[in-house]
Structure 1
Amino acid sequence: MHPNRQTALGLTVAVAVVAAALVGCERGTSTGGGSSAPGPTTAGCPAVLAGAQAAVQRAMKTNPAWHGPTRGPRAVPGKSIVYVAQTMTNPGVAGAAKGVREAARALGWNVRVIDGQGTPAGIQAAFSQALALQPSGIVIGGFDPKLTSQQVAKANARHIPLIGWHAVDSPGPSKDPELFSNITTRVRNVAKISADWVITHAHGHAGVVVFTDASIPFARNKSELIKKGLATCDGVRLLAEENIPIPDTSSRTPQQVSSLLSRFRDRWTYSVAINDVYFADAAPALRAAGKKGAGAPFNIGAGDGDPSAFQRINSRQFQAATVPEPLSQQGWQILDEFNRAFSGEPPSGYVAPVHISTAANSGGATTWDPPGYRAAYLNIWGK
């Protein structure tokens, strides 16, 4: 997940503690809720559990039918695209850029990636460099366009189409900032399926810790939605919500995990994080406490599903699941949306459905790359 969701970016209480759990956290703080020992067999919310199980089963499918666009304009020749990346060390940003490059080869377009190095000054400089190249279109790759409002205004004035990847909260066109389209899954769907997975895996009984970054509105919204989803099951208790800014995860998470283990011991059975990175940093503390990699707390990342998350999942080392973005597919969609913009047509309106990856359905892969989209786009483009 990139920082603006990171994206996304961007978890759950019984009825008796809903009001307390939904109170926002201050930066770097923890909130606690009620707790109960999980019951291994009896469901705490039979109707909710049944719905969650059905949703998880759908999201676990590895060969879904293509429900994206099948019609559109033929490829416009000779276009040049600049992908301004928040930072290429972010696996989500890099994965989408890889998809853009692959699609550009199929279209015969030129693509240049400029790395913003993860700082406001670096991103602004990268965007200014992109404008100087006078490209046909610019990708806002994983950062808030407000960071580059002057450059965005210049691009709009020059009628250079802008397409975001996780640039704003919602998929599709944006008026403020002015984007032809923004490519992302719907945060409410990511939040809901994360909660559904916990309810399903726990058979309706869980003690949950939520990891979020309240300094990022997208992430804070995602964690609130996850909490609301988990709160629909009476057998789920929010033990704590840990507010750890993403830049501080490596220094803060191990200490917080040790504290959580001391406070809740075996009552802590599940975790949901707005980004997989929290579990990379939690693993050493869990291991030091004698926890088993394939045991509780069972962890799910409501993030991008980067390769390291898949590696932890596949090796059953302190992460059980992730809700990954189809990064390569989204790269292809970005170029299809540009082709529509260049042809004077509206955006496709397509939003990829959510998916859950676990060791049981990943097949050892380190990304989520659904079938069907390459053939569909090549057919649209006449390639």
Structure 2
Amino acid sequence: MHRNRTAAPGPLKTRSVTTALLALAAATVLAGCERGSSSGDPEGSDTGPSGCPAVHARARAAVGQAQKTAVPWNGPTSGPSATSGKTIVYVAQTMTNPGVAGVAESVRAAARVIGWNVRVIDGGGTPAGIEAAMSEAVTLKPSGILIGGFDPGSTSQQAARADAARIPLVGWHAVAAPGPSRRPRLFTNVTTEVEDVARVSGQWVIANSNGHAGVVVFTDASIPFARNKSELIRKELATCPGVRLLAYENIPLPDASSRTPQEISSLLARFRSRWTHSVAINDLYFADAAPAFRAAGTKGSGPPFNIGAGDGDPSAFQRINGEQYQAATVPEPLSLQGWQIVDEFNRAFSGRPASGYVAPVHITTADNSRGATTWDPSGYREAYRKIWGR
């Protein structure tokens, strides 16, 4: 079962690889090209010596730390008390993205506590739809606008109008880094550190495979945040010469339901047992991949062993808990981030700086989820209620 893949290596197999071949392998991975099947049993490659002993040891340590669930609250404990009578408009990239929809739900929950109103406008996942949604949001003249999952640079005219009207903009996964942004202008951007998410996703593959894997990466290159994340994942995978990048699949999230099944079928036919692991910038890909895997007779428990580098929506947890074509996720704490977003707006309305808080990364597997359907750290609700005086 996949949940035991990170256990100590089994009986050793002798491998001798020259320095020149290792260099060639690393260069090939960096180039993103397939370089053939692994030696030995392709479905049991994690039973031999690690393909990158030092990198593998670091990966196992990092993964072990990220899988811990008893994480104390390390966010803000002070700030301005609640302002009243505010309205937030949430412009969503697409509400079919479970992460975007999950944040909308948590923002609404936090807004009820602080006493604000929230309106959601769905951009539908298209440039024209997002631009129209942003125009509508500015026209409504709300207290603040939340940018959910898209680059505000793509709506620069509307963002400039909001800035001129002194409507603060807060982003969720809007730009590559957490915290305030000058270009585009955001009071703050709420997200985990994309470098940490990408790194630990790649490290999970290295640890889970004992440094021997054939990997497919799924991304949406139309979203700068997602493209950056997938490039960082490729970079981490390339630190282990025993890991091969078989394919880099660019599937826009709005097209995932129609395109992913066909791509999965093609990849299975092309790579067969060489395909041992997958990393996707969003769990949504594996929801759409499951029917194709099932039709091909692939076991739900893998291989391939699939990890989502975000966002950790309930359906991803259900697939992980049921061993249905997903082994792990690096979930965003969507509920916590919704509360943080409301707190950041409250700081903006109060003339205070952003909190600077960034949630740490976490890995969920069947072993540590305990049947949960979200990653919901403890302590934040009590902390924010105390700050707001609610």
**In 2 relative to 1, CA 289–75 (structure 1 residues): closer, same or farther, beyond 3 Å?**
same
* 1:200-244 deviation per Cα after TM superposition (whole angstroms, max 9, x unaligned): 111222222222233433323222211221222232222222333
> Which residue in 2 is equivalent to 1:243?
250
Q: 3-state DSSP class of the match of 1:57?
A: helix
**Which residue matches 1:33?**
35
Alignment partner, residue 4 of structure 1: none
Establish whether residue 204 from structure 1 lines up as the match of residue 211 from structure 2.
Answer: yes
Give the structure 2 partner of residue 16 of structure 1. Answer: 24
Number of residue pairs matched?
365
| Paired residue secondary structure (1:190) | helix
| Range moving further from structure 2, 62-71 or 40-49 | 40-49
Percent identity over the alignment? 71
Distance 1:65 1:15 in 2: 42
Residue type matched to 1:198 in 2? V
Moved over 6 A (4+): none
Amino acid at match of 2:192: T
CA-CA distance at 1:122 after TM superposition: 2.8
**Paired residues of 1:163 and 1:182 also in contact (CA < 8 A):** yes
Q: Deviations over 1:40-98 (max 9, x none)?
A: 14222222222111211111122211111111111122222221222222211111111
Residue ranges of structure 2 left out of the alignment (5+ in a row): 1-20, 40-44
Question: Which residue of 234, 239, 243 corresponds with 1:227?
Answer: 234
The SS at the match of 1:361 is helix
Runs of 5+ unmatched residues, structure 1: 1-12, 25-30
Superimposed CA distance per residue, residues 299-329 of structure 1 (whole angstroms, 9 cap, x where no aligned partner): 1111211222222111101110111111111
Distance change >3 Å, CA 238–CA 124, structure 1 → 2: closer
Distance 1:86 1:260 in 2: 28
Matched with 1:67 is 74
Please give the TM-score of this superposition, normalised by the length of structure 2: 0.88
CA deviation profile, 1:142-169 (whole Å, cap 9, x unmatched): 2221232222111101111110111111
Q: Are the counterparts in 2 of residues 32 and 241 from structure 1 also a CA contact under 8 Å?
A: no
The residue correspondences of 1:110-121 to structure 2 (distance < 5 A) are 110-121=117-128
- Hey, what's the Cα distance between the residues in 2 that align with 1:15 and 1:351? 37
Report if the CA contact (8 A) 1:35-1:238 is conserved.
no
Matched to 2:152, the amino acid is P
CA RMSD of aligned residues (A): 2.0
Amino acid at match of 2:24: A
* Structure 1 contact 14–238 (Cα < 8 Å) conserved: no
Choose 84-93 or 249-258, whichever is displaced more: 249-258
Of structures 1 and 2, the one with the larger relative CO (CA 8 A, separation 6+) is: 1
In 1, Cα distance between equivalents of 2:279 and 2:24: 21
For 2:263 and 2:119, locate their aligned partners in 1 and report how far apart those are by CA, in whole Å.
41
Report the equivalent of 1:43: 50
Cα separation, 2, equivalents of 1:19 and 1:341 = 47
1:227 aligns to what SS in structure 2?
Answer: helix
Q: 1:1-383, aligned counterparts within 5 Å?
A: 15-23=23-31, 31-37=33-39, 38-383=45-390
Query: Given that residues 97 and 253 in structure 2 are in contact (C-alpha distance below 8 angstroms), is that contact kept between their aligned partners in structure 1?
Result: no
1:338-369 CA deviation, whole Å, 9 max, x = no partner? 11111211111111111111111112222211
Q: C-alpha displacement at 1:15, in angstroms?
A: 4.2
